[in-house]
Structure formats: structure tokens, C-alpha cells
Amino acid sequence: MSLSRTQTLREKRIAIEQFAMKTSFRAGLLVLAVVLIVLDVTQTSAVSTKGYEINQYQTEIRQLERENRKLEVEISKHRSVESIQERLQGLDLVVAEQPRYVSLVGPTVALR
């Protein structure tokens, strides 16, 4: 009984070896290997391209943040009391000694 079982296993092994030696099997393995290599190269290329784009966007973000900080400093300078007073002196304005205020009674509208 064990002799017949060993024979069957040996026959299976021989059949597998014969199948592996066929040209169609080898060609199939070659095609599979080529497809896997092409997929790997494609994926690697896509990942490196995305990495480059991400790096460019990060550089642009840093540059815009620096520019934003500079603009915020400029805004702060122009909003300061000293800056406003300097700009007012250039307009040759005078201080009102006794301002007069107009009080309107009731609903008043302007006509053309």
C-alpha cells in the first residue's frame, strides 16, 4: 500500500517538473515578471512625481507665509498713531477751535 502511494507522489512530482519545463509555462512566468516590473516602475515614478509636487507646494507655502508676515508688519506700521499723525501733517489740516454740530429733528432726507 505504501509502495503505491510513493509511486503516486513520485508521478505527481515528475508531472510538475515536466509542466515547469514547458515553454508556455516559462513564457507565462516571463510575461508575469515583465508586468510586475512595469507596474513597479510606474508606481515608483508616480510616487516620486507626487513627492516632487508636494515639495514644491511646501516651498510655495513657506514663501507665502513669509510674505504674509511682512504684509502684517506693514499693516501694523500704517495703523500706528505715529504713522497716522505723519500722514495727517502732510495734508495741511488745521485743528477746529470751536466745532459746531448740527442737530436734525425728525426724519430728514436729502432731495435731488
65-85 pLDDT per residue, tens:
999 999 999 999 888 888 888
| Cα distance between residue 102 and residue 111, in whole Å | 18
3-state class (DSSP) for residue 110: coil
Instruction: List C-alpha distances in Å: 102 to 42, 96, 99, 107.
Output: 79, 15, 10, 14
The whole domain housing 57 covers 2-89
Q: Taking residues 91-98, what's their average pLDDT?
A: 82
Under 8 Å between Cβ of 29 and 23 = no
Residue 59 belongs to a domain: yes
Q: Taking residues 36-59, what's their average pLDDT?
A: 96
Calculate ∠ Cα 1-13-18, nearest 5°.
140
Residue 15 belongs to a domain: yes
Residue 94 belongs to a domain: no
Residue 17 belongs to a domain: yes
Residue 70 belongs to a domain: yes
Report the number of distinct structural domains present in the chain.
1
